[in-house]
A = this chain, B = another copy of it.
Amino acid sequence: MKQVILTLLIASGIQRLPAQVTPADRVNPFIGTNGMGHTFPGACAPRGIVQLSPDTGTTPHNIDGVYQPRAYDYCAGYRREDSTIVGFSHTHFSGTGHSDLGDILVMPFTGERRATPGDEDKPGSGYRSRFSRDSEQARPGYYEVFLEDHRVKARLTATERAGVHAYAYPEGENRQLLVDLVHGIYNYDGKVLWASMRVESDTLVTGFRLTNGWARFNQTYFAISFSRPITRYGYEELERPAYAGFWRKMNTRENFPEIAGRKIVAFFEFGPGEEVVEVKVALSAVSAAGAAANLEAETAGKSFDEIAREAREKWARELNVVEARGTDDQLAMLYTSLYHVHVNPSVYMDVDGQYRGADHNVHRAEGFANYTIFSLWDTFRALHPLLNLVAPSRNRDMVESMLAHYRQSAHGALPVWSHMANENWCMIGYHAVSVLADAIAKGLDVDRERALEAMISSSSIPYLENTPEYLELGYVPFEKNENAASITLERAYDDWTIYRVARDAGRADVARQYRERALSYRRLIDPATGFARPRLADGSWKEDFNILATRGQGFIEGNSMNYSFHVPHDVDGLIALMGGDKSFVAKLDSVFETPLPDAFFEETEDVTREGILGGYVHGNEPSHHLAYLYAWTSEPWKTQFWTREIMNRMYRNHIDGLCGNDDCGQMSAWYVFTVMGFYPVCPGSDQYVLGAPYLPYIKVHLENGKCIEVKAPGVSDENRYVKTMKLNGKTYRKRYIAHGDLANGAVLEFEMSDKPAKSRAGDEKPYSLSNEK
Contact = CB atoms under 8 A, between A and B. Distances in A.
Interface string A31-63: 000000000000000000000000000000110
A189 interface: yes
A410 B260 contact: no
A55 B341 CA distance: 56
Contact of A62 (B198, B242, B250, B359): B242
Contacts of A425: 245-247, 249-250
A562 B475 CA distance: 82
Interface string A408-424: 00110000010000001
A555 to B, nearest CB: 15
Q: Please state the number of chain copies in the assembly.
A: 2
A250 B424 CA distance: 12
B210 A194 contact: yes
Contact of A242 (B64, B243, B257, B411): B64
8 contacts: A194-B194, A194-B217, A196-B217, A200-B410, A213-B245, A216-B247, A246-B417, A249-B425
Given A196-B217, A242-B190, A360 B250 contact: no
A465 to B, nearest CB: 9
A711 to B, nearest CB: 46
A213 B206 CA distance: 22
A360 B424 contact: no
Interface string A54-94: 00000001101100000000000000000000000000000
Nearest to A362: B287
Interface string A198-235: 11100000101010111011000000000000000000
Given A241-B190, A410-B200, A217 B251 contact: no
Interface residues of A, number: 51
A605 to B, nearest CB: 13
A334 interface: no
Interface in A394-433: 410-411, 417, 424-426
Contacts of A188: 242-243
A334 B200 CA distance: 46
Given A212-B243, A258-B411, 13 more contacts: A188-B242, A190-B242, A191-B243, A194-B194, A194-B217, A196-B217, A196-B360, A200-B410, A210-B210, A245-B424, A257-B410, A287-B361, A288-B360
A601 interface: no
A244 to B, nearest CB: 9
B242 A199 contact: no
> Which 5 pairs from chain A and chain B are nearest by CB?
A246-B425, A257-B410, A289-B361, A198-B410, A193-B193
Nearest to A211: B194
Given A245-B424, A425-B245, A250 B463 contact: yes
A189 B243 CA distance: 9
A425 B212 CA distance: 29
Contact of A463 (B64, B251, B289): B251
Of the candidates A208, A241, A247, A255, the one having the most CB atoms from chain B within 10 angstroms of its own CB is A241
A206 B357 CA distance: 14
A256 interface: yes
A300 interface: no
B61 A243 contact: yes
A464 interface: yes
Given A243-B191, A243-B213, A463-B251, A198 B359 contact: yes
A650 to B, nearest CB: 28
B426 A246 contact: yes
